Amino acid sequence: MTKKLIIIGAGMASGRVLEHLTDQAPGAYDITLFNAEPRGNYNRIMLSPVLSGEKTYDEIVTHDHAWYADARVTCRFGERIAQIDRTAKTVTAENGDVLAYDKLLIGTGSNPFMIPLPGHDLQGVIAYRDLEDTQDMMAMGPDNKVVVIGGGLLGLEAAAGMAARGADVTVVHIMGHLMERQLDEAAAYLLRKALVDKGITVRCSANSKEVLGRDGHVRALLLDDGTELPCDLLVMAVGIRPNTALAQDAGLAVGRGIHVDDQMITSDPDVLAVGECIEHDGAIFGLVAPLYDQAKVAAQTLLGSSGRFVQKELSTKLKVTGCDLFSAGDFADAEGREDIVFRDPARGVYRRLVIENNTVIGAVMYGDTADSNWFFGLIRDKTDISEMRETLIFGPAFQGGSPQDPLAAVAALPRDAEICGCNGICKGQIEDAIAAGATDLGAVRATSKASGSCGTCTGLVEQVLAVTLGDDFVMPAAASVCGCTDMTHEDLRRMIKSQRLTSMPAVWQECGWKTSCGCHICRPALNFYLLADWPLEYRDDPQSRFINERKHANIQKDGTFSVVPRMWGGITTPDELRAIADAADKYAVPTVKVTGGQRIDLLGVRGEDLPDIWADLNAAGMVSGHAYSKGLRTVKTCVGTDHCRFGTQDSTGLGIKLEKTLWGSWTPHKLKLAVSGCPRNCAEATCKDIGVVCVDSGFQISIGGAAGMDVRETTLLCQVATEEETIDVVKAVTQLYRENAKYLDRIYKWMNKVGIDWIISRVVEDAAERAALVERFEVSQSIYRKDPWAEHATERAETYRPVADLSLEAAE
């Protein structure tokens, strides 16, 4: 008699087993197929194209009625198996039917994980697993709002599918970037950009707190920051758990999944299992490629030959039209690994290879994945790449030939090849501009606009100049920011503004960074440019700051710190002095010094004590003096009309007002001010970045002084009549400096580049421009005019202490 095979679950894995069985030995078994879903095998992974409307359900059915009839498979769809009795070798269906088997194959797949938030059982809260879920989502259209929890593969496919139907979709993701298990920050940035272009709202680092309902139906998702996201449907796509309940009840060995050996046999020799429900050699599975290998082995085992399942490298692609991404292998940095990074900002392409022992072990790609199979092959076969290392990142087309000479390549370009994407300028137009007399980059830019916008084609334009002019053209060696990029600071600032780049990964990608995450030279500059240009959007990154600005204190040569509280305009009180003295005693401060900036420095404070000493100084009303910052330092004053027989205006009062307006602001380099009460200039105002000298008729404002490595006298900007106008001019010039100067240029250096006339034309002569600058300055100060010491002392004190103390424990 033919042996009886019962299969539980008509899924992707068991479907493959059926095919192998009926191909290789039709009739070897009398097969009965149970499926809890009321249908047979279909291509589950194609539910996403069904959702987005690119395919219909009928197109993704893999086995139809005719197929089962042909293969003589008894189908019991819509029937769940309730129990397995391994001693009697029977299964019990939900309706009570008991069927005997000789061999049993479990392919029950997995269950979507539902986060047990309050309200998760409301109507309209669904997972994304089967056709029913898909149909719920297909009902969403332009009148609906949907929230998807989970920014992984499934969540994003769900989001894109519903967005394609016109629904207003928000993705809520707990991690800092999308698809963090498959993508690095740079690729995730490009992906996010593409999704946002599709109208999807993406919220990363967002924690869900509760599902809110009305009349038993979901109405909104509440985040832990208090935001409510209204929705008609809430999709949770946060992970899967192997569906092992049946196997566990039957007493089979189960860990995270049902334990199987290399032949797909469970702890019972007559029971096999395949698919997402299994655990093999410690691993569980969530993609179909390995399931197909398992299916082949399971069929071999059932037919008496012996195959062997071996786990292989996996690769991931996202099935969202227009989001071309690929990820494979292990792409985390680790000991002994190296990165090769390639970015083509114009095409939105990012490629990163991770190399270990001369083999590629991981790859992440976005934008152009045409070569992904080739790279995947290198990973899988552990190919030795030492011979092609230099050109590896460019893909298979570049292997074998000799490395190309970039100039020869440019010379070979046709006249209609586009060089400048922003302005649509072709090589021919640049050649014409050169023929008409433009013999350097500036002139080409001025006459043809080429490289005038984002600047990324600057190198190409220079190459066209070199090819056309031959020896008459000397390639300029413009100093780039650092080894991570070929761009200059000026290029970078232009890109950040013109392309609206508001995050570091955005800059790294769009400006073609050559390293994965910058270095100690470019990151502080970038951090400043981003917060100066986008004070509201960009969040300051402490890890991209030099230690002094990260810990709001000056590091000393022995690793201790100095603490300088603000003394507004150089004025203090007996109470403040007492508090400083108490703090010096309490924290055993070795040196107390009066600085050159009219205030008191506590030198030699231990890093661990910083939050405490700050809290004490805060309690006495003092705040950080920013003696460590590329930002406002001091406003020195003299005694002025209060006491001095020559004083013409209240220089002390104006100095205090200026300091209270400007404090906390970040600038390209440090910013020092002084206000003197008369031209005798006791506050040394004419060697400060911005100096004010009071005269009978008003206030002379001058800028660009210095008294450090360079000693310079300031240049007059203007004279104004009132304190209010003085403050406005100072704010405006500070903002202009902040928006335009190169990082680490003091005002005098910047002024020498742009010219005092240009500054006067904006800040003094153009009232509207001055007002706009003042307004932008105030917007930024709404975020930054606050005491970092208070914030760190209350919220981040812990980070100043050792993360563990093993000195006592290890002594035993």
Partner 1 sequence: MTHWIDIAALDAIPQRGARVIKTGLGCVAVFRTGADEVFALDNACPHKAGPLAEGIVHGKAVTCPLHNWVISLETGQAQGADEGQVATYPARVEAGRVLLDATFLRARAVA
Ligand X SMILES: Cc1cc2nc3c(=O)[nH]c(=O)nc-3n(C[C@H](O)[C@H](O)[C@H](O)COP(=O)(O)OP(=O)(O)OC[C@H]3O[C@@H](n4cnc5c(N)ncnc54)[C@H](O)[C@@H]3O)c2cc1C
Residues 6+ apart with CB under 8 A from 4: 29, 30, 32, 99, 100, 101, 102, 103
> Binding to partner 1 by residue 144, rule CB under 8 A?
no
> Binding to partner 1 by residue 477, rule CB under 8 A?
no
Report 180-199 residues binding partner 1 (CB under 8 A). 184-185
- Report the C-alpha gap between 228 and 233 in whole angstroms: 14
- Residues 554-583: x/- map of binding to partner 1 (CB under 8 A)? -x-x-x------------------------
How many chain residues are in contact with ligand X, going by CB under 6 A? 33
Classify residue 403 by its DSSP letter. Answer: P
How far apart are CB 252 and ligand X at their closest, in Å?
14
Beta bridge partners of 636: 674
Find how far residue 170's CA is from the centre of its chain: 18
Nearer to partner 1, 83 or 799 (CB): 799
Nearer to ligand SRM, 670 or 731 (CB): 670
Nearer to ligand X, 40 or 518 (CB): 40
Please report, for residues 490, 789, 797, 804, the alpha-carbon distance to residue 793 in angstroms, rounded to integers and kept in the order given: 37, 6, 5, 20
Which of 36, 212, 231, 517 is in the footprint of ligand X by CB under 6 A?
36
Whether residue 128 contacts residue 17, with contact meaning beta carbons closer than 8 Å, is answered with no
Say which residue the tokens 């989970």 belong to: 150
> Binding to ligand X by residue 737, rule CB under 6 A?
no
Residues 6+ apart with CB under 8 A from 194: 320, 322, 323
Report 226-255 residues binding ligand X (CB under 6 A). 243, 246
> Binding to ligand X by residue 107, rule CB under 6 A?
yes
> Binding to ligand X by residue 327, rule CB under 6 A?
no
**Which of ligand X, ligand SRM, partner 1, none does 80 bind, CB closer than 5 to 8 A by kind?**
ligand X
CA distance from start to end of the chain:
72
Looking only at the bridges linking them, the beta strands covering 671-676 and 632-637 are parallel
> Binding to ligand X by residue 11, rule CB under 6 A?
yes
**Which of partner 1, ligand SRM, ligand X, none does 562 bind, CB closer than 5 to 8 A by kind?**
ligand SRM
Nearer to partner 1, 227 or 799 (CB): 799
**Rg of the chain taking only CA atoms, in angstroms:** 34
> Binding to ligand SRM by residue 591, rule CB under 6 A?
no
Nearer to ligand SRM, 20 or 630 (CB): 630
> Binding to partner 1 by residue 802, rule CB under 8 A?
yes
> Binding to partner 1 by residue 177, rule CB under 8 A?
no
The sign one gets for the Cα dihedral 263, 266, 271, 277 is negative
> Binding to ligand SRM by residue 595, rule CB under 6 A?
yes
Report 610-639 residues binding ligand SRM (CB under 6 A). 627, 633-634
> Binding to ligand X by residue 787, rule CB under 6 A?
no
> Binding to partner 1 by residue 594, rule CB under 8 A?
no
Please report, for residues 364, 430, 516, the alpha-carbon distance to residue 332 in angstroms, rounded to integers and kept in the order given: 10, 43, 11
278's tokens: 């299994």
Span interacting with ligand SRM, options 224-232, 415-423, 591-599, 751-759, rule CB under 6 A? 591-599
Please report, for residues 177, 633, 641, 713, the alpha-carbon distance to residue 688 in angstroms, rounded to integers and kept in the order given: 44, 11, 21, 8
688's tokens: 């400060």
- Report the C-alpha gap between 138 and 123 in whole angstroms: 16
How far apart are CB 593 and ligand SRM at their closest, in Å?
5
- Report the C-alpha gap between 212 and 373 in whole angstroms: 45
How far apart are CB 731 and ligand SRM at their closest, in Å?
21
- Write down how long the chain is: 812
> Binding to ligand X by residue 73, rule CB under 6 A?
no
Long-range contacts of 440-444 (CB under 8 A, 24+ apart): 440/465, 440/473, 440/476, 441/465, 441/476
Nearer to ligand SRM, 206 or 564 (CB): 564
- Residues 595-634: x/- map of binding to partner 1 (CB under 8 A)? ------------x---------------------------
- Report the C-alpha gap between 653 and 668 in whole angstroms: 27
> Binding to ligand SRM by residue 562, rule CB under 6 A?
yes
For 718-753, give the DSSP string.
Answer: EEESSHHHHHHHHHHHHHHHHHHSPTT--HHHHHHH
Nearer to partner 1, 46 or 175 (CB): 175
User: For residue 93, what is the enclosing H or E element?
Assistant: strand 90-93
**Which of ligand X, ligand SRM, partner 1, none does 467 bind, CB closer than 5 to 8 A by kind?**
none
- Residues 65-94: x/- map of binding to partner 1 (CB under 8 A)? ------------------------------
- Report the C-alpha gap between 75 and 31 in whole angstroms: 9
C-alpha angle 378-17-98 in degrees, rounded to nearest 5: 150
Q: Using CB positions, name the residue nearest to ligand X.
A: 11
Nearer to ligand X, 21 or 706 (CB): 21
Nearer to partner 1, 181 or 214 (CB): 181
- Report the C-alpha gap between 620 and 789 in whole angstroms: 13
Report 399-418 residues binding partner 1 (CB under 8 A). none
Nearer to ligand SRM, 141 or 596 (CB): 596
Q: Can you tell me whether residue 443 is helix, strand or coil?
A: helix
- Residues 140-179: x/- map of binding to ligand X (CB under 6 A)? --------------x-------------------------
Nearer to ligand X, 222 or 287 (CB): 287
Whether residue 545 contacts residue 528, with contact meaning beta carbons closer than 8 Å, is answered with no
> Binding to partner 1 by residue 806, rule CB under 8 A?
yes
Looking only at the bridges linking them, the beta strands covering 240-242 and 110-112 are antiparallel
- Report the C-alpha gap between 279 and 337 in whole angstroms: 30
> Binding to ligand SRM by residue 710, rule CB under 6 A?
yes
- Report the C-alpha gap between 394 and 409 in whole angstroms: 15
Span interacting with partner 1, options 127-135, 190-198, 300-308, 510-518, rule CB under 8 A? 510-518
How many chain residues are in contact with ligand SRM, going by CB under 6 A? 21
Which of 19, 37, 324, 616 is in the footprint of ligand X by CB under 6 A?
37
> Binding to ligand X by residue 293, rule CB under 6 A?
no
Span interacting with partner 1, options 205-213, 332-340, 375-383, 773-781, rule CB under 8 A? 332-340
List helix spans (H) across 238-340: 245-249, 288-302
Looking only at the bridges linking them, the beta strands covering 258-260 and 278-280 are parallel
Find how far residue 392's CA is from the centre of its chain: 26
Nearer to partner 1, 408 or 804 (CB): 804
Say which residue the tokens 């998760």 belong to: 120
Which of 518, 535, 611, 640 is in the footprint of partner 1 by CB under 8 A?
518
387's tokens: 């011979």
369's tokens: 């994945």
- Report the C-alpha gap between 74 and 40 in whole angstroms: 11
Please report, for residues 13, 127, 136, 154, 808, the alpha-carbon distance to residue 130 in angstroms, rounded to integers and kept in the order given: 15, 9, 10, 12, 56
> Binding to partner 1 by residue 303, rule CB under 8 A?
no
Span interacting with partner 1, options 18-26, 119-127, 334-342, 692-700, rule CB under 8 A? 334-342
Nearer to partner 1, 168 or 185 (CB): 185
Please report, as ranges, the residues that interact with partner 1 according to CB under 8 A: 184-185, 331-336, 339, 515-520, 523-524, 542-547, 550-551, 555, 557, 559, 607, 799, 802-807, 810-811
Please report, as ranges, the residues that interact with ligand SRM according to CB under 6 A: 554, 556, 562, 564, 593, 595-597, 599, 601, 627, 633-634, 670, 672, 706-710, 746
Please report, as ranges, the residues that interact with ligand X according to CB under 6 A: 8-14, 34-37, 44-45, 47-48, 80-81, 107-109, 128-129, 154, 243, 246, 275-276, 286-289, 291, 319
